[in-house]
Chain A
Amino acid sequence: MTQIEPVQLLLSKKERFDREPDRRSADFHELLFDLESRGEIEVQRVQGDYVTVPTKYGTPKKIQKGHLWHHKSCGQCGHIPGYSTSIFWIMRKLGYDYEDPRDQTSCTAWNYYASATSNQAAQAAVALRNFAAAYETGYFPLIHCGTSYGHYKEVRSELLHQPELRNQVRKVMEKLGKPMVLPEEIVHYSEWLYAMRDEIATNQVLNLKDIAVTVHPACHYYKLVEGDAIYDPDVYHGQRTAAVSGLVQTLGADLRSYSTFFDCCGFGFRHILVQRDFTRSFATLRKIEVMKEEANPDVVLTHDTGCVTALDKSQFAAQAHGRDVGVPVMSEAQFAALAMGAHPYKVCQLHWHSTNYKPLLEKMGIDWKAAWAEFEEELQHLKSGDKEFLTWEDVGV
């Protein structure tokens, strides 16, 4: 009888893991176009004018300038409506056409990461239904939410690598009468703002050199499928994502760093809704207080729904504990819109925010009292029935 060496015996029981020696994520395009050529999926191509931007491992990414299909965000539309309004406003101001669809659902990933009451096939089918809806209009998808963006990149990766999942989702899409389609690029609105930063700066009306800004990079933007996020050697030497920070630099604001930039905001998906003691603690102790101590910003800018919510809303209750809080929080879209002369209430809708933003507006040279009076005048028209809604014409675009 052959005697098995003790070491061999141990090794035979040990779990084996295969992994790529190079941790850089591969360029997904090859697989995407291969599946397209085999007739498995359709690919919605970038069309018309586009800007090529650098990503983490050097793969170029095309950002289509106009003719975009806005995949809206639950939290932005629901309780930070100045966020999405500012994205639309900037696009109109720069003269790019877009589609604001009703044929769009949430990506449902907030719920998925909060409760797991869904599954891989459902999440992929929701994503593909939305992509198909965009494809049918001919407009190219632009994703407003950082979590939708990150989740859709995960879904794309799963679909490209798992034939069983593709088959499962294909059956659902056939029932819906929709094609299996993925866009050539999955683009976050903050990538569009980064790509358009010079055009935005050309339309800038405020001087921001005295405005100190800290940036919270959104986890789901650059940690999920990290190779597909924008990194620029001119922004933190390419060591942090250039989304948001690149725009802040181009706008001429005073971009300041702080040590906990990599930390998340504390949103937690489930926690922000039913366990906010955690969210409040993390957002204030690990983010806001550290930023105040190390960088003393006039404003915190970020590029995701959950981050604006967690960082802004957590500060009120923290005051009761004597914490050193009190920094306004908004998206870089709202900040850029303000820089381009957007109305702080009619467009940026800052009255939906919690932390006091008025000192910031004063420092930016915006007369918030006069602006609020103008907004109230509009509200009177709505109340009296003179008009039903505030329109784009009312805000000059």
Chain B
Amino acid sequence: MRTVTEDPYMKVDRVAGHENVERANKVALMDEVFADPRISHYLYGCYECGICVAACPSARFYDFSPRRIAQAAARRDIDLMFQQMEEDIWECSQCFSCLRCPRGNNPGGIITVMREVAVKNGLHSAQEALHGYSRIIFKIMSTGTQVSPDMLQPDAFPDWGPEVKDVSENLDLWRRALPPETHHTTKTGWAVADKTIVELYLIWLETGALDMIKQVDEGIHMILEEVMEERLEDEGIEI
């Protein structure tokens, strides 16, 4: 039985789990993480002081530690980073309280990059974390606003109290009772101009953001692609 990897710094795959995943695949994923130009501004080694953990909301409720994220990345511990990618990164609240780090690390930022790589490569953790979230991806990418008033339904937010039902039942009337002219909408947060939406679609297509969705939800990707291409075709825009 192997007890150490070729480098004594690193966590052995047996301990990190996911030993069924080829090491070359793990290395390729982490190469993607470290190729991101933001990483060099997010990682400066670790004092192991734990200030980031003390400030971290997710560390209080999950088996999660921003310190371990920074340490694993600083040691280039491929097996541990892969384990974190599959088991830890989606617990992060992305509040960036960990920026309190006296060393100047940004564990939350490292996680943003790791999540992006997890999404791009369709990792199991990304699919699982975003299960049930797809309708939000559809909303933001297709309408340019993240949440809409008509999402406030009592069956979706029973824990938010009876006021949600009041809002839902009176939605159209209460939206018309808002003085700002842009707020009389129910399907989007505010009224977004048609040309603005077309410009947004171009951004999603030109930057490859739309392609990323395919790996986590093929169905939503297909619908979004159709919506965007149809709209751009109507405008006479070639992709």
Q: Give residues in A with beta carbon < 8 Å to B.
A: 13, 15, 17, 19-20, 23, 72-79, 81, 84-85, 88-89, 100-106, 108, 110-122, 125-126, 129, 133, 150, 158, 161-162, 164-165, 168, 171-172, 175-176, 178, 219-220, 223-224, 226, 262-264, 266-271, 273-274, 276, 278, 280-282, 286, 313, 316-317, 346-347, 349, 351-354, 375, 378-379, 382-383, 388-392, 394-395
Q: A103-B195, A172-B202, A346-B177 are in contact. Are A219 and B182 (CB under 8 A)?
A: no
Smallest CB–CB gap between B140 and chain A, Å?
4
Q: Would A264 and B148 count as touching, CB distance under 8 A? A: no
Residues of A within 8 A of B131 (CB): 274
B 38-59 contacts with A by CB, 8 A: 38, 41, 43-45, 55, 57-58
Tell me, in angstroms, the Cα distance from A263 to B141 when the chains sit together: 31
| Structural contact, B147 and A105, CB atoms closer than 8 A | no
Interface of B is mostly: helix
Q: A79-B151, A85-B180, A317-B159 are in contact. List 9 more A-B contacts (CB 8 A).
A: A77-B145, A88-B179, A165-B37, A168-B207, A263-B97, A266-B57, A354-B161, A379-B173, A392-B179
Given the complex, which residues of A lie within 8 Å of B76, measured CB to CB?
Answer: 15
Residue B192 interfacial (CB < 8 Å): yes
B69 at the interface (CB under 8 A from A): no
Q: Which residue of A lies closest to B221 (CB)?
A: A117
B152 touches A81 (CB 8 A): no
Point out the residues of chain B lying under 8 angstroms from A354, CB to CB. 160-161, 163-164
Min distance, Cβ B196 to any Cβ of chain A, angstroms? 5
B203 within 8 Å of A (CB atoms): yes
* B96 and A102 form a contact (CB under 8 A): no
Query: Is B200 at the interface (CB under 8 A from chain A)?
Result: yes
User: How many CB-defined contacts (below 8 Å) exist between A and B?
Assistant: 276
> What are 14 sample pairs from A and B whose C-beta atoms fall under 8 A apart?
A13-B7, A13-B9, A23-B104, A77-B190, A115-B130, A115-B216, A117-B209, A120-B37, A219-B97, A262-B97, A264-B97, A286-B57, A313-B159, A382-B173
CB <8 Å contact, A118 and B167 = no
Do A74 and B95 have beta carbons less than 8 Å apart? no
A267 to B203 Cα, complex, angstroms: 28
List residues of chain B with CB under 8 Å of any chain A CB: 7, 9, 36-38, 41, 43-45, 55, 57-58, 60-62, 74-76, 90, 93-97, 99-100, 103-104, 112, 115-116, 118-119, 126, 129-133, 136-137, 140-141, 144-149, 151-152, 157, 159-161, 163-164, 166-167, 173-184, 189-193, 195-197, 199-200, 202-204, 206-209, 212-213, 216
Alpha-carbon separation in the docked complex, A88 to B176 (Å): 16
Option from B7, B103, B163 in Cβ contact (under 8 Å) with A353: B163
Complex Cα gap A188–B161 (Å): 30
Which of A85, A88, A223, A395 has its CB near the most chain B CB atoms (within 10 A)?
Answer: A223
Distance, CA A17 to CA B76, complexed state (A):
13
A304 to B: closest C-beta gap in Å: 11
Q: Does B160 contact A313, Cβ atoms closer than 8 Å?
A: yes
| A382 touching B57 in the complex, CB below 8 Å, given contacts A223-B95, A223-B99 | no
Given the contacts A105-B144, A354-B163, A270 and B173 also touching, CB distance less than 8 Å: no
Q: Are A390 and B179 also in contact (CB < 8 A) when A105-B144, A111-B137, A129-B203 are?
A: yes
* Residues on B with beta carbons closer than 8 Å to the beta carbon of A379: 173-174, 177
CA distance A338 to B151 in the complex (A): 28
In the complex the two chains form, what is the Cα distance from A108 to B129 in whole Å? Answer: 18
Whether B180 lies near A88 (C-beta < 8 A) is yes
Chain B contacts for A74, CB-based, 8 A: 140, 145-147, 189
